Amino acid sequence: DTGPILGQARVPVLPGDTPESLHARIQEQEHTLYPAMIARVLERWHDLILLLAGKQSGLLPGEDDRMTDSLVL
C-alpha cells in the first residue's frame, strides 16, 4: 500500500467493543466508502478519456466544462 489515499472514514472504538463489534462498524463504513471511491475513480478516468479524445480531435482543454476538473486522484 504505497499509493495515494482515495478516501477515509472515522470509526470510533467504543467502550465494551469486541473485535467483532468493531469489525462490523468498520465494514459499515467500508460498504459506504468503497462504492463512492470506485465512482470517483471512474469519473476521473472518464474525464481523462474525454481529455485525451479532445486532444486527438483538436479540442482544447477548457472548451468542454467536463474537462476543467482536476484529474488528480
Q: Is the pLDDT of residue 66 over 70?
A: no
Around Cβ 67, how many Cβ atoms within 10 Å? 19
Summarised one tens digit per residue, pLDDT across range 4-62 is: 888 899 999 999 999 999 999 999 999 999 999 999 989 888 888 888 887 655 555 55
3-state secondary structure the chain: CCCCCCCCCCCCCCCCCCHHHHHHHHHHHHHHHHHHHHHHHHHHHHHHHHHHHHHHHCCCCCCCHHHCCCCCC
Q: Does pTM surpass 0.85?
A: no
